[in-house]
């Protein structure tokens, strides 16, 4: 839930430092890896993969019906690549007009590939857990220093997989109790080193990339996320540090429950909500009272309107996640 809040805030404000404070995508992939390992322990691999696809694709199709449909109405002429709007194994094509809505799909594409690869990855991981975990940083180093991937769907997909591979495999380690068995020095020192190297690389290459935003610097993102998520998961595994105490705050616990149950819907529709908030606020300028008393120029007001629209989208389309999970459709879980 916290990761999703950070994602929405980042897309509203564009803060380049947000990823340094809380690398949401690394955290989300780490948690997803943990859940995947748990499912693979309980059920056959084929059943787990099918279940993940069934729960992911219907909300994506629902969202895509509106986004792709709007682009078609606006004159978009797709080629055969439109098949990626059915199963996003590659980035679905889109028009420049709708780019802000569909550019977030890289996460679903990367998640989908990790799901498909997880039975093999988990088998390799259990052969030599610590060695495989450390080696999972090798692909991003290869792509950064030894081989430049092509600037196409294949290259982009490969780069994203390499960037977050460590976090996904770290989820396996967390689930299997590997982190519990490691001494603090064996975890904390490498994690701090990864954080330091990631931050150094981001700031040292700021001129090359035009920013220190980790989202634009995959190698720095991989290192920073690796260090941050490792410390986060180790704190939970070894020290029992978590947010379970928040369950006593009933309203907050309820909100977190809704966020977790509607995570796919929230992620898919949040960028569209922020886009639609702009013309909606423009209309508010026509009302003298709103112009006088509302902070219509504030990005925080934009974020607030965006969250209202996100809530509307969750109410309208969140039930698709229930149907995809073979549950009774509900407005809110």
Cα-based distances in Å from 331 to 5, 181, 315, 323, 325: 21, 43, 5, 12, 14
The Cα–Cα gap between 71 and 75 comes to 7
Classify 22 as helix, strand or coil. Answer: coil
Left, alpha or beta for 177 (phi > 0: left; psi -120 to 50: alpha)? left
Structure confidence at residue 245 (pLDDT): 63
Structure confidence at residue 241 (pLDDT): 65
Say what percent of the chain tops pLDDT 90. 83
pLDDT at 223 > cutoff 90:
yes
Query: How high does pLDDT run on average in the chain?
Result: 93
pLDDT at 208 > cutoff 90:
no
* 237-254 average pLDDT score: 71
Structure confidence at residue 83 (pLDDT): 95
pLDDT digits (tens, 9 = 90+) for 282-316: 999 999 999 999 999 999 999 999 999 999 999 99
The Cα–Cα gap between 196 and 40 comes to 34
Structure confidence at residue 151 (pLDDT): 86
> Angle 181-187-190 (CA atoms, 0-180°, nearest 5)?
150
pLDDT digits (tens, 9 = 90+) for 97-132: 999 999 999 999 999 999 999 999 999 999 999 999
Please give the residue that has the higher pLDDT: either 86 or 251.
86
Structure confidence at residue 191 (pLDDT): 97
* 219-244 average pLDDT score: 87
Q: How confident is the model at residue 256 (pLDDT cuts 50, 70, 90)?
A: confident
pTM for this one?
0.93
The Cα–Cα gap between 129 and 161 comes to 19
Q: How many Cα atoms are found within 13 Å in the side-chain-facing hemisphere of 162? A: 21
* 217-241 average pLDDT score: 91
- Please state which of the ranges 139-143, 159-163, 179-183 shows the lowest mean pLDDT: 179-183
pLDDT at 95 > cutoff 70:
yes
pLDDT at 248 > cutoff 80:
no
The Cα–Cα gap between 126 and 268 comes to 33
Query: How far apart are the two ends of the chain, measured CA to CA in Å?
Result: 15
Could you tell me how far CA 72 lies from the centroid of its own chain? 27
Q: Are 152 and 199 in contact (CB under 8 A)?
A: no
DSSP state of 247: G
Q: How confident is the model at residue 242 (pLDDT cuts 50, 70, 90)?
A: low
pLDDT at 236 > cutoff 70:
yes
pLDDT digits (tens, 9 = 90+) for 25-57: 999 999 999 999 999 999 999 999 999 999 999
By CB atoms closer than 10 A (0-12, 13-18, 19+), residue 267 is: buried
Structure confidence at residue 249 (pLDDT): 74
Q: Quick one: how many helices (H) and strands (E) in the chain? A: 18, 0
Phi, psi torsion values for 288, nearest 5 degrees: -55, -40
* 214-219 average pLDDT score: 95
């Amino acid at each position: 839930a916290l990761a999703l809040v950070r994602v929405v805030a980042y897309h509203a404000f564009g803060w380049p430092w947000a990823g340094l404070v809380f690398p949401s995508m690394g955290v989300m992939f780490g948690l997803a890896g943990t859940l995947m390992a748990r499912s693979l322990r309980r059920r056959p691999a084929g059943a787990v993969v099918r279940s993940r696809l069934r729960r992911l694709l219907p909300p994506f199709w629902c969202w895509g019906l509106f986004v792709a449909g709007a682009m078609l109405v606006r004159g978009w002429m797709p080629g055969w690549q439109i098949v990626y709007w059915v199963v996003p194994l590659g980035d679905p094509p889109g028009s420049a007009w709708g780019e802000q809505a569909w550019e977030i799909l890289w996460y679903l594409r990367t998640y989908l590939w990790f799901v498909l690869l997880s039975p093999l990855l988990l088998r390799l991981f259990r052969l030599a857990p610590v060695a495989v975990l450390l080696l999972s940083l090798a692909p991003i180093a290869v792509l950064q220093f030894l081989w430049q991937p092509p600037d196409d769907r294949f290259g982009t997909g490969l780069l994203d997989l390499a960037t977050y591979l460590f976090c996904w495999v770290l989820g396996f380690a967390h689930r299997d109790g590997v982190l519990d068995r490691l001494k603090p020095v064996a975890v904390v020192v490498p994690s701090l080193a990864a954080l330091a190297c990631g931050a150094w690389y981001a700031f040292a290459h700021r001129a090359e990339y035009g920013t220190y935003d980790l989202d634009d610097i995959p190698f720095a993102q991989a290192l920073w996320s690796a260090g941050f998520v490792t410390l986060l998961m180790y704190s939970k595994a070894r020290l029992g540090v978590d947010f379970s105490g928040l369950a006593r705050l009933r309203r907050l616990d309820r909100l977190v429950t809704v966020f977790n149950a509607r995570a796919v819907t929230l992620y898919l529709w949040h960028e569209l909500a922020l886009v639609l908030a702009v013309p909606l606020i423009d209309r508010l300028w026509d009302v003298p009272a709103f112009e006088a008393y509302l902070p219509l120029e504030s990005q925080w007001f934009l974020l607030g309107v965006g969250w209202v629209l996100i809530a509307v989208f969750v109410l309208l389309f969140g039930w698709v996640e229930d149907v995809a999970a073979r549950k009774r459709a509900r407005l809110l879980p």
